[in-house]
Structure 1
Amino acid sequence: MVTPCPASPAAWSERRHHEPNLRAPVKKSRRPRLRRKEPLRPLSPRLLPGDSGVCDVFESPGSGSDGEDSPGAGAAARSCSPPPNPGQLLAPLDLQTFRDYGPSCYAFRKAQESRFHPLESLARQPQVTAESRCKLLSWLIPVHRQFGLSFESLCLTVNTLDRFLTTTPVAADCFQLLGVTALLIACKQVEVHPPRVKQLLALCCGAFSRQQLCNLECIVLHKLHFSLGAPTISFFLEHFTQERVQAGQVEASEALEAQILARGVAELSLADYAFTSYVPSLLAICCLALADRMLQVPCPVDLRLGEHPEGVLEDCLHKLQLLVAINSASLSHILPLRIFEKCSLSPSLK
């Protein structure tokens, strides 16, 4: 039986005299009781994408297998569907947003274009040549497509790569590491689910460590002063497409098909060092004009939209025609079949 505690001090003193072993009640602190909860888990069953070791803490036990290190496995973990083709990456045209923000955004990007444009990126490179740059980008372009990344990510990757080459000599055996590092930096800016570090390292067949990639990433960011928001061909292609549709020069469906074909031509130009002398807006308008010719669009794009001299436009357009004629087989693998079948090469393109 539990005896209630006496209310008065006198009663408590009398009880303590008869029961010497009795102790005064001690008021316990009201601390919250910590209960062990379940470990943190992702909200979805797929792996958490990330670019640092943080995501590895939350991975499933089987995620460290060799199969998960491949880019195909990483893409499958993010989505059960195959990587989208270029046609699926184009969102419907939002002309109202373009009318509100398009001109001011274009003016801002156009003013920054020369600042982010690398000139003669291989001039200070004793070991990196135009041929090795072409080989690296010809390898990175299918990698970016395998991961299901956007065209904007690819353009930013090439821009980051070339701008770093203008500042620092790179050894030939580190050039591939620089390529995947530039891809990681670009994906961090654009992609919702960028590739993980160990997936990128797996592409290099284990030739580099995580620490080497992270160290090079810090060096690249330091050399570029964290100025990464470069205007790209992707932005200008989208702007010129919306502008011509807004002006009523072409139907939206025809403009989107021309934009897809122009992206394919622009992909070919990114790997060719000869096109690094042209700014993105110039390449974009010329790729779009060439796409209109190949698709035989009744009302082709006005080359004056890019605000470039006529001589420079003709020179760039002529080189793009030659590039397409030489790489027509590669273009057939880049484009969706329905668009490639509509393309017709004029005698001047052969």
Structure 2
Amino acid sequence: MKTLTRNLEVCDLLDIRNPQSVAEYAPQIYRYLHQEEKRHMYPQDFLLCNQSEITEKMRAYLIDWLSELHLIDKYIMLQGDLRKKDLQCLGITALHIACKYEEIYPPELKQILRVTDNAVSKEEVLALEFQILQTLDFNVTFPSILRFMERYARIAQVQERTQLLAQYLCDICLLDCTLMKEKPSKLASVCLFAAMRLAKPQAPTVWNATLTKNTGYKEEEVRGMAMDLIKFVKNVEQSSLQSLYKKYMSSRYMEAAALLSGATN
């Protein structure tokens, strides 16, 4: 045990007695995820290459509705041409798969179908579920922006509202197809840096050597992209893509999106 805990971060040492956190293996787990993310990169033009009906704008509306569902992009990239009318069924089916994978007590399919006002049938969802899982070779675990960000936020020991703002930025990243060419670990670093800078605008620096070591990115590698992301978020908030903004302006999420209101370059 002493060998395993020798090089742990403070946040992992605090969790060492929690068997569910497996804190002693955190460095190995995230080292593996950094290696694995290279296998799940999306080319910037993955929609143009594979789709004739599904546009970037349509995808953005779907992601805005469902937020963090990497199954959708992975399936779109691998499947080939999809029909525009299949987009709603794809969204509901991806949600159904994600719920079964993530939740201890997932909602019944009939509950999920109510979201569509029964515009999609149970039979359609079950058929597409099998098709998606076959296309993905039943691999529904991907290194995600959110998982990396949560790890980095724990290392930085940021306040809850700052982490929720970083989470909001992670979700917003998914709306822009051009960002899919970036590694999830880099996007997570950019989102956390932006959130920390917005939370402490007067601080001389928010990125330290510990974050550089654990993320693999120096401040100068994320700063410019973070400023561009803030501009993009402000444009999204003024568009018709309002689901994420409303979510993170709710009291449940501590009105984290409001931290962006005074942001400048």
Relative to the length of structure 1, the TM-score reads 0.60
**Residues in 2 aligned to 1:136 and 1:274: alpha-carbon distance in whole angstroms:** 16
2:122 aligned residue: 210
The DSSP-based 3-state class of the residue aligned with 1:128 is coil
Q: Deviations over 1:129-172 (max 9, x none)?
A: 0010011122224xxxxxxxxxxxx3xx2x11001111122110
Tell me if the contact between 1:236 and 1:280 (Cα under 8 Å) persists in the aligned partners. Answer: yes
After TM superposition, list the pairs within 5 Å mapping 1:1-150 onto structure 2.
95-96=15-16, 97=21, 99-119=23-43, 120-122=45-47, 123-141=49-67
Q: 1:104 to 1:255 in 2, by over 3 A?
A: farther
1:202-227 CA-to-partner distances (Å, cap 9, x unmatched) read 22222222111111011111111111
Q: Distance in 2 between matches of 1:312 and 1:175?
A: 36
Separation in 2 of the partners of 1:342 and 1:165? 34
CA RMSD of aligned residues (A): 2.7
Letter in 2 for 1:224: L
How many residues are matched?
Answer: 234
Tell me whether 254-263 or 162-171 shows the greater mean CA deviation.
Answer: 254-263
Q: Which moved more, 1:218-227 or 1:183-192?
A: 183-192
Deviations 1:204-251 (A, max 9, x none): 222222111111011111111111111112211121122223xxxxxx
Match for residue 200 of structure 1? 112
Matches within 5 A, 1:299-310: 300-302=206-208, 304=212, 305-308=214-217
- CA offsets, 1:261-284, max 9 Å, x none? 100111222222232222211111
The 8 Å contact of residues 248 and 255 in structure 2, kept in 1 or not, is answered as: no
Q: What is the CA–CA distance in structure 2 between the aligned matches of 1:188 and 1:323, rounded to whole Å?
A: 33
Q: CA deviation at 1:255?
A: 3.6
CA radius of gyration, larger in: 1
- Counting aligned pairs with the same residue, the percent is 25
Q: Is the 8 A contact 1:117 1:163 kept in 2?
A: no
Task: Report the 3-state secondary structure (helix = DSSP H, G, I; strand = E; otherwise coil) of the residue aligned with 2:225.
Answer: helix
Please say which of residues 266-275 and 312-321 is displaced more in the overlay.
Answer: 312-321
Answer whether contact 2:54 2:82 (CA < 8 A) is retained: yes
1:326 alignment partner in structure 2:
235
Once residues 134 and 342 of structure 1 are traced to their aligned partners in structure 2, the CA distance between those partners, rounded to angstroms, is: 23
Q: Which residue of 2 aligns with 1:3?
A: none
User: How much has 1:343 moved relative to structure 2?
Assistant: 5.4
Cα distance in structure 2, aligned partners of 1:295 and 1:309: 19
* TM-score of the aligned structures, taking structure 2 as reference length: 0.78
1:95–1:242 CA contact under 8 A, matched in 2 = no
Listed one character per residue, the Cα deviations across residues 287-310 of structure 1 (whole Å, up to 9, x for unaligned) are 100001111174513463422487
What is the one-letter code of the residue matched to 1:323? F
2:88 corresponds, among 176, 192, 196, to 176
Go from structure 1 to structure 2 and tell me whether the alpha carbon gap of 1:206 and 1:115 turns closer, same or farther (over 3 Å shift).
Answer: same
Give yes or no for contact 1:121–1:163 (8 Å, CA) kept in 2: no
Q: Distance in 2 between matches of 1:341 and 1:321?
A: 12
- Cα distance in 1 for residues equivalent to 2:225 and 2:106: 33
Deviation at 1:342, TM superposition (A): 5.4
Residue 242 in structure 1 maps to residue 151 in structure 2: no
Structure 2 residue corresponding to 1:165, chosen from 71, 76, 96: 76
Structure 1 stretches of at least 4 aligned residues deviating more than 6 Å after TM superposition: none
Aligned partner of 2:263 in structure 1 is: 346
Structure richer in helix, relative to its length: 2
Deviations 1:49-78 (CA, angstroms, capped at 9, x unpaired):
xxxxxxxxxxxxxxxxxxxxxxxxxxxxxx
* CA contact 1:266–1:283 (8 Å) conserved in 2: yes
Find the aligned partners of 1:277 and 1:323 in 2 and give their Cα distance: 16
Answer 1 or 2: higher relative contact order, Cα 8 Å, separation at least 6.
2
